[in-house]
């Protein structure tokens, strides 16, 4: 499997990058950045680190890749949900309105935002480049804006259904909120990478809030029914008649046309050990109050723990 992944990644690396012969672009939906960093952590292949760095630094630069791409295909666009070529015009939706270093607030599609920032934080830690680390810490303004002004008490983010996106500071309606399950999972991923870099308990607090509310609440106990969006207030009788609630479902659904949330919930639950603990060179942080068994290699042996939390 690793060989297949590396072969596909090598192909992507042959197509995108700073060389004159390559495309000077980046994905419309960030996620390859966090995947590249995970692959680099396994293989230590420097090209994967360099490609992540390129995607991060090229994003939002001028001349804008999305505009160039749009012109090359004769101004043809296949996405008209919010008007002709809206994904090209609304670059904040794709986190491409500005270079990351110039962005001031959490904006645009919530899942894209946290996926991108997960990759940025992982890059900052594994590059062993102090300037990268400082750049990432400088971007704490983005974390703080999200966590202090655009985060629900349930760990949900993305308060509007239009664009599944952030809105403005403190605009947090209970009934029309989107708060996609995938967004809270991405929030956990972002918090995990910040914990690995800084070891600050604020990230564990947000991660725990998202897990115990929106993420776990997004799946029924039978494991077969799911919420895509997670409002804090639902009026079942109004849903049929009031179209501002078209995205809201009163009960968990068996499946979705765009079924990203069910497998994403499965992904985070099967990797939950990475969230419960954060090993560092000088400490082991316990992030989430949960029953578990754990083995962590340390300098002089193996650290073991097991059983349920004390009641």
List pLDDT tens digits, range 138-155. Answer: 678 899 999 999 999 999
CA-to-CA distance for 136 and 100, rounded, in angstroms? Answer: 10
Q: Does 260 participate in catalysis according to the annotation? A: yes
Question: What pLDDT score was predicted for residue 212?
Answer: 97
CA-to-CA distance for 212 and 208, rounded, in angstroms? Answer: 6
* Long-range own/partner contacts, residues 5-12 (CB < 8 A, 24 or more apart): 5/39, 6/39, 6/43, 6/45, 9/36, 9/39, 9/48, 9/51, 10/47, 12/51
Residue 259's pLDDT band, with cuts at 50, 70 and 90, is very high
Q: Does 182 participate in catalysis according to the annotation? A: no
Q: Which of 6, 31, 57, 260 is catalytic?
A: 260
List pLDDT tens digits, range 59-110. Answer: 999 999 999 999 998 888 877 777 777 788 899 999 999 998 889 999 999 9
Q: Which of 33, 136, 164, 196 is catalytic?
A: 164
pLDDT (average), residues 182-199: 95
Other Cβ atoms closer than 10 A to 93: 21
Paired sense of beta strands 301-305 and 294-298, if any: antiparallel
Half-sphere CA count of 260, side-chain side, radius 13 A = 13
Q: Which residues contact 175 (CB under 8 A, 6 or more apart)?
A: 231, 232, 233, 234, 235, 245, 248
CA-to-CA distance for 61 and 65, rounded, in angstroms? Answer: 8
Average pLDDT, the chain: 92
Cα 73-25-144 angle, rounded to 5 deg: 125
């Amino acid at each position: 499997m690793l060989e297949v992944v590396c072969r596909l990644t090598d192909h992507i690396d042959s197509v995108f990058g700073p060389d004159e012969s390559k495309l000077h672009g980046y994905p419309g939906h960030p996620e390859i950045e966090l995947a590249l960093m995970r692959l680099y952590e396994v293989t230590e292949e420097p090209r994967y680190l360099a490609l992540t760095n390129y995607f991060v630094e090229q994003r939002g630069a001028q001349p804008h890749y999305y505009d160039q791409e749009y012109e090359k295909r004769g101004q043809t666009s296949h996405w008209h949900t919010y008007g002709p070529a809206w994904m090209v015009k609304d670059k904040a939706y794709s986190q491409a309105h500005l270079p990351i270093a110039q962005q001031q607030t959490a904006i645009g599609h919530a899942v894209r935002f946290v996926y991108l920032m997960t990759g940025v934080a992982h890059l900052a830690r594994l590059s062993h480049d102090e300037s990268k680390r400082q750049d990432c810490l400088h971007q704490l303004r983005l974390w703080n804006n999200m966590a202090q002004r655009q985060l629900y008490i349930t760990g949900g983010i993305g308060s509007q259904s239009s664009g599944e996106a952030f809105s403005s500071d403190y605009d947090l309606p209970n009934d029309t909120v989107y708060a996609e399950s995938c967004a809270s999972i991405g929030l956990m991923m972002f918090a995990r990478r910040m914990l690995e870099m800084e070891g600050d308990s604020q990230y564990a607090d947000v991660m725990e809030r998202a897990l115990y509310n929106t993420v776990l609440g997004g799946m029924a106990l039978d494991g077969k029914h799911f919420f895509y969006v997670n409002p804090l207030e639902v009026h079942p009788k109004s849903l049929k008649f009031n179209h501002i609630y078209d995205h809201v479902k009163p009960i968990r659904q068996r499946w979705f046309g765009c079924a990203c949330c069910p497998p994403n919930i499965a992904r985070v639950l099967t990797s939950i050990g990475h969230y419960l603990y954060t090993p560092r060179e000088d400490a082991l942080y316990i992030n989430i109050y949960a029953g578990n068994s754990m083995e962590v290699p340390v300098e002089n042996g193996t650290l073991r723990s097991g059983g349920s939390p004390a009641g």
